[in-house]
Structure 1
Amino acid sequence: MGGEISLRGWRLQRQDSMNGLMPEHVNELCWIVNLSAQQTTQVDEVGLHEVKGLRIVRFTNTSYPMLVPRGDKDSFATEAERRQEGILFCRSKYIRVWVTPTSTSTTSSRKRRMEEQAIQFLAPHEADAGYAVDTSTLRFRWRGETQPGGSYATQKISPLVDLSTNTPTILGGTSKIIRQYTFGDGFCGAGGVSRGALQAGLRLNWGFDHSISAMDSFRLNFETAIGYTSDVADFLASSHTEIMVDILHFSPPCQTFSPAKTVAAAMDEDNEACIFCTRELLEATKPRVVTMEETAGLQQRHEEFLFATIHSFVELGYSVRWKLLNCRDYGVPQSRQRLVILASGPGEPLPPFPKPTHTSPNTQINTTITTALLPPFRTIHDAISKIPPHHPDHDIQYARSRPLNRPTYDPHTQARTITCNGGENYHPSGTRGFTYRELACLQTFPLEHRFCGKSVKRQIGNAVPPMLGKAIFLVVKRALERVDGVNGGDYGGGDGSIDIVREVVEIL
């Protein structure tokens, strides 16, 4: 007796109060979801005295401004009245994933931290009855007809040969259409991401970059793809025959946002402008899934630019998630932390981040009978010990002609981050720097990948490690295969459903 009545439920927040993450549409809400290993769903609790009144909210997966009543603005005397009394709509969720370090961590490092964030549009099963639209309809409205299994098709012919006679005779054969998801690489450099995409089984259609030498390297390695030597503005302005792709990647210049950067540079404005090319690239290429890779500093020190980028995705109806990944978890022999952004277009599944493929040899992993232990982090020795003598870009004599006198170190460790000038890395012997080929191997370029021009070290350092790209694109490919119903996948849909209260309370 005497205790105050409290209410529990999901928190909905107005989009215009989300620090620029979402378009600031009046009476549009975002469902706030906090997840952790200890708690997979979270509800908020408020006292009855905090309630201002009852409001009607419609949960829908339709795109804005659909369902907003015509003449809505004219139905109220003032904008404030519309805000206070109009119908509310919730079309998306803002998901934050929290982690708490293990009990073995030091006290100072055990602070709960946000590991991953996402803006995800509602699925049909999360919408109110009568307010849902099929995912295929959303996809068609955005990009037109979409071919399940990928936009690229080739015919595979298996001949039937009669070997029962002295002279083998071709009697005929069977043919099969093989499909691949098409891929475009923006700011492609020498092709680190493109190499990873090929390794994941994607069809590389094109790449663009303003660097002449990098594009020479790109064209040398990917002869069937079109390489455009241009900046993003010229690429978008040119009348290309076909730049629409299933999967798009772009990694705009990131030096402006690097944690190591302390002094402004003449190209900073151009680099910042590249970050804001998101909307134009999406509208021109209409990708089903988009990936971005950037310096960790974009999240750590320049959150306003990150949020502006996320805003551009969301405004076009793309769900998006972002997280810092360490490249060494995916077979790259470097401690290299990068911000990775995954986005999916209207009606498409939002792929998860890839699970680590490697781990510290000292890490104790909880495994089941069907789960094998992950291999240990790859090391400098793993990466460079099998380079053949006299291999292209592996001029050891030239490296020795520029001698160093540095401490030796254990080659069975990871390198520091490879940058456009090589970073603070040198050969474990301490007597020389790495050759270009050794740097390329530390970036996980395969031995057959070749480089052109005088800026080879810059091309290598600016690249996204192919093994990281491969891990990401394998997950993206599987997500699309599942929704397309190919390779044994089942057509989309979510797991379970959520019974949502149709009237909500607005609190002080």
Structure 2
Amino acid sequence: MNSPGTHVHHLDEVRILDLFAGPGGLDVAAHFLGYKSIGIEWDHNACETRYAAGLPTIHADVSVMRETRFDEIPTSVDVLAGGPPCQSFSVAGNGAGRRALETVKEFIHRLVDGEDEAEIDRDLHALGDSRTALVLEPLRWLLKAIETDGRDPYKVIVLEQVPEVLPLWEVYAKLLRGGEGRLRGVKYEAECWKLKTEQFGVPQTRKRAVLVARLPGHGAIRPPEATHLPFDLLRGKRSAVQPDMLPTETVSSGPQKRWISMGEALDTASRMEGSPVDVSRLRTNGSLDFFVVSNYGSGGDPKNRGRRLSCEPAFTVTGKISRNKVYKSLAEYEAENSDRFTIPESGVLQTFPHNFPWSGNDQAQQVGNAVPPRLGMHVLGRALRGMAPSDDELAAASTWPSVPRATTEELRRLGCGDRSQCPPDSHKVIRPRGESGP
């Protein structure tokens, strides 16, 4: 891999380091707020999306990067951000992380207290799910910056995860406020909250645990102010395909607007110039009325699939969103004549720009793993400048700027180089049996 110093125009004035960057949810948010970022991502497919989008990226394992290549991170970086993989903590996962929450809290204290990291790593490995340990990586990156000559402590830390991780963020916050042990007297103002994405204009219901920490001197840290009503406030119990049970007109209460529905979001995206979002197949007599049947069961019954109407927010967008079934009518439902959301449509439900250049394989997984950029804009805006994104910034975030192919190629050289430092086997091509090639 070439030295980042030879790519000054991409890494100059980079302020935000995005760990576990995925396809770029936080980076997209930073872009529309006017901040430059660089992401570390181990998945080659997500890196391809990032290169196509013009997002500076290092294709690497976050732990390896910290241990052996820390000096490649630009010294201009003063914001540490990221969302460690959540599968072991997620309700949808096997729950290893949730069962080990108390143990992981102990590891956080052990790291700050200065215990031998090799022993900590051995104990973490014994938990049986290596992904659980990744929730400690942001703390390790912070400690690395504090303990490395020529580096300053990060001025701002922004972390997000599934709501089950909130107790760990609370431990983080308490230790960051104390500044003891390996923190060497560096103290932060730190707060954490549980946020609902639909309250920030994201057309899906999704809960996230968010931590924001900041060096003192910039005032108290306040939570992002919700701009929309929570979906649960207006939703009543109803049977599956009865669109007349809910209002479609805008309902407001004070300064907050009604949540944004998936129908509204997709319809708006489809009307943009050159948009790859085409929902004409879901229209009936010009009206965009449909309903979605979830890929997941509810209430402990895998056969009891949840349903949402087009006038409601989408279900949480996961890597399995392409398995959700979309129907235009009850007749189609009874005939099992279903449709699916396309990748651009799924991206719009995550609040990515309608023309975001999804690339590589496993694109549905990329979409599902991402932070919704609109939520990211609210969190980063509050953390970095103490205010919400402006209406103009939010409006601009609907369209992604065109990226020249030369820029994509240069970012690929920056991120992968000769591939010698990329994660093992990440560029391996599996060929069909009998097919040969170089």
TM-score bucket (shorter structure): 0.5 to 0.7
CA distance in 2, matches of 1:472, 1:306: 15
**Structure-to-structure mapping, 1:161-176, within 5 angstroms:** none
Q: The residue matched to 1:228 in structure 2 has which SS?
A: strand
In structure 2, the residue matched to 1:290 is 157
Q: 1:444/1:312 Cα in 2 relative to 1: closer, same or farther (>3 Å)?
A: same
Counterpart residue identity of residue 463, structure 1? A
Q: Which runs of 5+ in 2 are unaligned?
A: 1-8, 98-124, 146-151, 235-250, 282-290, 294-305, 389-438
In structure 1, the residue matched to 2:88 is 256
In structure 1, the residue matched to 2:260 is 378
Q: The residue matched to 1:427 in structure 2 has which SS?
A: strand
**Structure-to-structure mapping, 1:2-81, within 5 angstroms:** none
Q: 1:480/1:242 Cα in 2 relative to 1: closer, same or farther (>3 Å)?
A: farther
Aligned length: 287
Once the two structures are superposed, residues 234-265 of structure 1 have per-residue CA deviations (whole angstroms, 9 ceiling, x without a partner) of: 22221305154232211111111112333659
In structure 2, the residue matched to 1:342 is 212
Q: CA RMSD in A?
A: 3.6
CA distance in 2, matches of 1:353, 1:312: 19
**Structure-to-structure mapping, 1:122-271, within 5 angstroms:** 182-204=15-37, 206-223=38-55, 225=56, 227-236=57-66, 237-238=68-69, 239-240=71-72, 242-262=74-94, 264=96, 269-271=129-131
Higher share in helix: 2
Q: 1:241/1:434 Cα in 2 relative to 1: closer, same or farther (>3 Å)?
A: closer
Q: The residue matched to 2:361 in structure 1 has which SS?
A: coil
CA distance in 2, matches of 1:269, 1:443: 28
**Structure-to-structure mapping, 1:353-432, within 5 angstroms:** 353-359=223-229, 367=254, 373-388=255-270, 391-392=275-276, 410-422=309-321, 425-429=324-328, 431-432=338-339
CA distance in 1, matches of 2:345, 2:327: 12
CA distance in 2, matches of 1:436, 1:405: 16
Query: Do the aligned partners of 2:198 and 2:228 also contact (CA within 8 Å) in 1?
Result: yes
CA distance in 1, matches of 2:50, 2:322: 23
1:424 is displaced (CA, Å) by: 7.0
Q: Which runs of 5+ in 1 are unaligned?
A: 1-153, 155-178, 368-372, 398-403, 482-508
In structure 2, the residue matched to 1:450 is 357
CA distance in 2, matches of 1:296, 1:441: 23
Q: The residue matched to 1:256 in structure 2 has which SS?
A: coil
Structure of greater Rg: 1
Query: Do the aligned partners of 2:163 and 2:207 also contact (CA within 8 Å) in 1?
Result: yes
Q: 1:281/1:458 Cα in 2 relative to 1: closer, same or farther (>3 Å)?
A: same
- 2:151 paired with 1:319: no
1:476 is displaced (CA, Å) by: 2.3
Higher share in strand: 1
Query: Do the aligned partners of 2:292 and 2:327 also contact (CA within 8 Å) in 1?
Result: no
CA distance in 1, matches of 2:199, 2:50: 27
Q: 1:463/1:396 Cα in 2 relative to 1: closer, same or farther (>3 Å)?
A: farther
Once the two structures are superposed, residues 53-85 of structure 1 have per-residue CA deviations (whole angstroms, 9 ceiling, x without a partner) of: xxxxxxxxxxxxxxxxxxxxxxxxxxxxxxxxx
CA distance in 1, matches of 2:280, 2:63: 41
CA distance in 2, matches of 1:255, 1:228: 23
CA distance in 1, matches of 2:277, 2:261: 21
Query: Do the aligned partners of 2:157 and 2:213 also contact (CA within 8 Å) in 1?
Result: yes
Once the two structures are superposed, residues 202-245 of structure 1 have per-residue CA deviations (whole angstroms, 9 ceiling, x without a partner) of: 222x110111111111122125x3x1111112222213051542
